[in-house]
Structure 1
Amino acid sequence: MLSRSSTFYLMAISVADNLVLILIVVLELSVKYHQQEPFWSYEPWCNLRDIFNYGAYNSSTWLVVVFTVERFVAIHTWKMKTKICTSKCAAWTITAVFLLSHFFAIPYYWSNVSVFENNQTRCIYKPEAPSHFIHALVWCQTLQAYILPFLIILTLNGLTLRLISLSNRIHITTDSTSRVHKVMPLMRSRKRKSVVLLVTVSMSFVLLSVPRAITQIILRTTHMYTLDRNDYNLKINIAADTGTMLSLSNAAVNMYLYVCTQSKFRQQFLACIRQVTFYCETKL
């Protein structure tokens, strides 16, 4: 049940996830704790940083969404599958996701400013920026990165599981026909594998992203917005960083989840381990 278009989506998700890990985990978070004045503390990187960061994160998020839609179509209807689940459609969709994700992140260019305080250059939110502008950025990001993807993924997963349940009932009632008896188990097996992949990928994204979504809404829309984010005596800072860690870990484990749900990958992986073990035993 995995089409060639699914391969395109998985490759695109892999690229987006690696961009998230490189831009956010390595160049922002890791460098932050090893340098007093990272390169993105200065202009123009201070203004461009969040465009690339949110662009990469939103690309990773919406690629999971369109992959969920593609799997939903492939499982539910064969007529739409021939039009939507194609390599050409996948390529155009992936391109649109990357472009739109970075386009909607452009307003962040005007949200940051490089300042020199206490003998140190830092990149911070503009103090003179209107509060409604900051709140609009936060809610737009929350809407496009969390709320809408969550609703789409949960809805499609629910409909998919409902279809699988109904197909099982149909199989039981039509089991007296020998032809159906031979065909249906194969279809059920293929659908089950596809559903395992779909549910594993999408639900792991939802579960790992929920803590960050909640903490970011609390931080950015209440009086806590003015708190020192480096003060870890405050519980909200610990909760926010934990949510960020869980959200970013989704980008780190995504491809492992994709490949480990495939039986052929597991077979090849075990064969490789056996070959390595045999090689080491012969050398020793």
Structure 2
Amino acid sequence: MAIMILSRGKCGLSKCTTRYMVAMATADLPVLLIDVILRRIADIYLWPASLPYTPVCKIIFYLAPVAVDSSVWFTVAFTFDRFVAISTQNMKVKYCTERSASIVILTVSPFVCLKNLPLPFAYISYPGTGGLHGCLKPLEFYMRPEWMVYSWIEQLFTPAIPFCLILLFNALTVRRIFMASRVRRNLRDLSGGEKKKDQEMVNRRRSVVLLLAISSCFILLWATSVVHFIAVRSLKVFMYKSSGYPLEELERVGYMLQLLSSCTNTAIYIVTQKKFREELFRVLTIPIRYTGKIFKSAN
């Protein structure tokens, strides 16, 4: 529903911003379908009795991180786009366009797919119930040098580098906005004009609220995974993981929170964007309106 509403372009957002919003919402949907339902929930409640053999399992374990990485890097691209739009007026005209947004999205997508190509080869087959076979990462994955290097690259690519980039772009954007607001306020005071609402600052404030809401939510929900990655790699305890071990519980909480970040953007749109709420209400009331028209025509 969020994809449909944003695609209509009636939420009062620029075409460039709308394109990134649609991309993030489109990436979040496979995260929920593949990573949450097929990889997490089905692995607990369905696969033990009906695991559909190793190749399917490997495909799921490949598509799940592709969906997560796409969602994360679309968020980074959106954050950078807003930074350029607010902080660098010279680049804004050329970069903050619908065409540039499409190029960025089409560049990120295949790069994410290529980055995760080695993952299916990291899993091996193991016998499950009913003669079926599943897949898991062997201990060699954590010991062999090439897989250790890839594991570091994987964790740095998502979420360590995006985490730092979003923090940096947000800090620079907020700093720029405070400076610009102070200058505009001083100019208005010197001009002695009427104390009416500054529409430019209102528009900037809306963009910043949306940007900070999405970025801050990402940072908060991914922080646990970042802490777990640092703890595991620095303490070198990945060989001793067992159920009930503190870092094992931290890892599970991190997974839960990072997957939750894929379904919070729609809630953020509803809270921060008035026109999105109006469009959502209009879509939800369509069946009621049509039902009313049918009854009126029948009478």
Q: Deviations over 1:106-134 (max 9, x none)?
A: 12122111122787733111344443233
SS where residue 237 of structure 2 aligns? Answer: helix
The 5 A counterparts of 1:102-251 are: 102-116=113-127, 121-129=133-141, 130-175=143-188, 176-177=190-191, 185-219=198-232, 222-227=235-240, 229=242, 231=243, 233-251=244-262
TM-aligned CA distance change 1:153 to 1:228, over 3 Å: closer
1:50/1:105 contact within 8 Å kept: no
Aligned partner of 2:36 among 6, 10, 25: 25
> CA RMSD of the aligned region, Å?
3.0
For the residues of structure 1 that align with 2:71 and 2:115, how far apart are their CA atoms?
14
Q: Which residue of 1 aligns with 2:6?
A: none
After superposition, what is the alpha-carbon deviation per residue over 1:190-240, rounded to whole angstroms, capped at 9, x for unaligned?
A: 1111000010001110110010222244446755323455x2x32222221
State how far apart, in whole Å, the 2-side matches of 1:20 and 1:180 are. Answer: 50
Range with bigger deviation, 42-51 or 196-205: 42-51
How many angstroms apart in 1 are the aligned matches of 2:31 and 2:285? Answer: 34
Structure 1, unmatched stretches of 5+, are none
Contact residue 51 and residue 132 of structure 2 kept, 8 A: no
Gaps of 5+ in 2: 1-11
* Equivalent pair of 1:138/1:220 in contact (CA under 8 Å): no
Structure 2 CA distance for aligned equivalents of residues 273 and 112 of structure 1: 44
Verify: 1:11 aligned to 2:22, yes or no.
Answer: yes
Deviates more, 1:267-276 or 1:113-122: 267-276
Aligned to 1:78: 89
Question: Do the aligned partners of residues 117 and 159 (structure 1) sit closer, same or farther apart at CA in structure 2, a change above 3 Å counting?
Answer: same
Pairing partner for 2:76 from 65, 70, 81: 65
Inter-CA distance 272–91: structure 2 relative to 1 (3 Å threshold): closer
- What letter matches 2:115 in structure 1? F
The normalised TM-score by structure 2 is 0.81
Distance change (3 Å), C-alpha of 1:140 and 1:240: same
Decide whether aligned partners of structure 1 residues 53 and 217 sit closer, same or farther in structure 2, where only a CA change above 3 A counts: farther
Change in Cα spacing, 1:88 to 1:253, as seen in structure 2 (3 Å) is: same
State the shift of 1:45 in Å.
2.7
With over 3 angstroms needed to count, the CA separation of the structure-2 counterparts of 1:220 and 1:138, relative to structure 1, is: farther
**Shift of the alpha carbon at 1:270?**
6.4
1:86 Cα shift? Answer: 1.4
After superposition, the C-alpha distances for 1:159-198 in whole angstroms (9 at most, x for unaligned) are: 111112112221232122257976x821111111100001
Task: Provide the C-alpha distance between the structure 1 equivalents of 2:269 and 2:174, rounded to a whole number of angstroms.
Answer: 19
Post-superposition CA distance 1:13-44 (Å, at most 9, x none): 0111111111110011111111205546x332
Distance in 2, matches of 1:49 and 1:168, equals 48
Q: Please name the residue that 1:260 is paired with.
A: 271
Identity over aligned pairs, percent: 27
Which whole-Å deviations, capped at 9, do the CAs of 1:248-271 have from their partners, x for residues lacking one?
A: 000011122134311222345567
Q: Does structure 2 retain, via aligned residues, the 8 Å contact 1:17–1:252?
A: yes
Aligned residues: 276
Aligned partners of 1:180 and 1:170: how far apart in 2? Answer: 17
The residue that corresponds to 1:96 in the other structure is 107
